[in-house]
């Protein structure tokens, strides 16, 4: 079977980086048409640079990397250096990339690709704020019916927010873009904190990456050493969630996950709950079921997949 065509939209971020490695390590199942950087964890100049660093680490310098929107559609950019560090990939020392950045804007690349490829063949994997995808849909609504599936890391319901009591970071940064995406009618699979917080790192899981004895394995371990301290301090947990790789793992092994198709709407009015994903898990409102909201994961299976694939790089 031909590999599934995907576009990764991302704000690297250590967990984004692990997700990109996972995708790049799975060429039999996934064809990465392009990687689109968006402002999020750190500003755009860093996220586009980090995306290229990770592609070179994966041994894929031919990957097309695009720079996208440098700020949300309406709101001021909020970043997360407190979690990811100044560079966005703090932990190991990283060499500057030598592979080129594409001239074309990421939004134009998304629109052009969806218009060119046959309908229902391209999957959008969003790992950061939805500014690029929301803007593309706003500028060119004709692309919406062409999308096979949008698989996103974002949102939270039972797990509540991580950047405010009500909102998860990716949705909070650009709630208006998220609202466009959730209202678009495109097939949507959501990996919220409800599931990512059930796939925590442990010392054994991190050591397994280090013990691969490869550069990618060492990087994953050292990124995680840095990245996990924030969540461990905040939640008092033994480890931290690798959020974004859940998106790619869904494409590779969907049986690792379970959830249900429900209505999910985005708060864009109240500052108190701005960016909240209002998930009607118990179907009390009888609104359109617009998203498959994932709530559970086989954490051991997830880490086994990650280790196996990253061990191939």
Give me the residue label for tokens 């229902």: 120
Structure tokens at 127: 């790992």
Smallest distance, ligand RIB to C-beta of residue 32, A: 18
Which of residues 97 and 192 has its CB atom nearest to ligand RIB in the complex? 192
Which of residues 41 and 48 has its CB atom nearest to ligand RIB in the complex? 41
Q: How buried is residue 9: exposed, middle or buried, by Cβ count under 10 Å (0-12/13-18/19+)?
A: buried
Among 24, 26, 41, 47, binds ligand RIB (CB under 6 A): 41
Residue 60: contacted member of ligand RIB, Ca ion, none (CB under 5 to 8 Å, by partner type): none
Smallest distance, Ca ion to C-beta of residue 119, A: 28
Which of residues 73 and 111 has its CB atom nearest to ligand RIB in the complex? 73
Give me the residue label for tokens 């803007």: 135
Residue 169: contacted member of Ca ion, ligand RIB, none (CB under 5 to 8 Å, by partner type): ligand RIB
Site for ligand RIB in 134-163 (CB under 6 A): 153, 162
Residue ranges that bind Ca ion, judged by CB under 5 A: 11, 13, 16, 127-128, 244
3-state secondary structure the chain: CCCEEEEEEECCCHHHHHHHHHHHCCCCCEEEEEEEECCCCCCHHHHHHHHHHHHHHCCCCCCCEEECCCCCCCCCCCCCHHHHCCCCCCCCCCCCCCCCCCCCEHHHHHHHHHHHCCCCCEEEEECCCCHHHHHHHHHCHHHHHHEEEEEEECCCCCCCCCCCCCCCHHHHHCHHHHHHHHHCCCCEEEECHHHHCCCECCHHHHHHHHCCCCHHHHHHHHHHHHHHHHHHHHHCCCCCECCCHHHHHHHHCHHHEEEEEECEEECCCCCCCCCCEEECCCCCCCCCCCEEEEEEECHHHHHHHHHHHHCCC
Which of residues 89 and 262 has its CB atom nearest to Ca ion in the complex? 89
Report how many residues bind ligand RIB under the rule CB under 6 A. Answer: 15
Site for ligand RIB in 207-266 (CB under 6 A): 243-244
Task: Please give the Cα distance from 280 to 292 (Å, whole number).
Answer: 11
Among 18, 22, 26, 40, binds ligand RIB (CB under 6 A): 40
Site for ligand RIB in 115-134 (CB under 6 A): 127-128
* Position 47 contacts ligand RIB (CB under 6 A): no
Which of residues 222 and 244 has its CB atom nearest to ligand RIB in the complex? 244
Stretch that binds ligand RIB, among 7-15, 55-63, 102-110, 255-263 (CB under 6 A): 7-15
Which of residues 146 and 257 has its CB atom nearest to ligand RIB in the complex? 257
* Position 15 contacts ligand RIB (CB under 6 A): yes
- What is the β-pairing status of strands 291-297 and 257-262? antiparallel
Q: Which of 84, 176, 197, 243 is catalytic?
A: 243
Q: Known catalytic residue: 105?
A: no
Residue 162: contacted member of Ca ion, ligand RIB, none (CB under 5 to 8 Å, by partner type): ligand RIB
Binding site for ligand RIB (CB under 6 A): 11, 13, 15-16, 40-41, 127-128, 153, 162, 168-170, 243-244
Active-site positions read 243
């Amino acid at each position: 079977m031909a590999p599934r065509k995907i576009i990764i939209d991302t704000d690297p971020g250590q967990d984004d980086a692990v997700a990109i490695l996972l995708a790049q390590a799975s060429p039999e199942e996934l064809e990465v048409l392009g990687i689109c950087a968006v402002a999020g964890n750190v500003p755009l100049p860093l996220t586009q640079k980090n995306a290229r660093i990770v592609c070179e680490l994966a041994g894929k310098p031919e990957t097309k990397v695009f720079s996208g929107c440098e700020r949300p559609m309406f709101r001021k950019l909020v970043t997360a250096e407190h979690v990811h560090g100044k560079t966005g990939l703090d932990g190991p020392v990283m060499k500057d990339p030598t592979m080129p950045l594409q001239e074309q804007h990421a939004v134009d690349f998304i629109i052009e690709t969806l218009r060119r490829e046959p309908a229902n063949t391209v999957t959008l994997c969003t790992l950061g704020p939805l500014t690029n995808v929301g803007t593309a849909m706003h500028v060119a609504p004709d692309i919406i019916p062409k999308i096979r599936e949008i698989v996103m890391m974002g949102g939270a319901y039972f797990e509540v927010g991580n950047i405010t009591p009500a909102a998860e970071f990716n949705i909070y940064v650009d709630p208006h873009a998220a609202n466009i995406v959730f209202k678009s009618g495109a097939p949507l699979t959501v990996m919220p904190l409800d599931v990512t917080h059930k796939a925590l790192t442990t010392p054994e899981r991190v050591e397994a990456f280090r013990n691969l004895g490869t550069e990618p394995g060492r990087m994953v371990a050292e990124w995680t050493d840095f990245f996990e301290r924030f969540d461990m301090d905040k939640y008092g947990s033994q480890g931290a969630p690798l959020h974004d790789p859940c998106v790619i793992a869904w494409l590779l092994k969907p049986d690792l996950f379970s959830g249900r198709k429900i209505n999910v709407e985005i708060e864009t009015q109240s500052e108190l709950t701005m960016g909240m994903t209002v998930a009607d898990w118990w179907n009390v409102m009888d609104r359109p079921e617009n998203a498959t909201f994932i709530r559970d994961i086989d954490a051991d299976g997830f880490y086994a997949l990650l280790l196996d694939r990253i061990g191939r790089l």
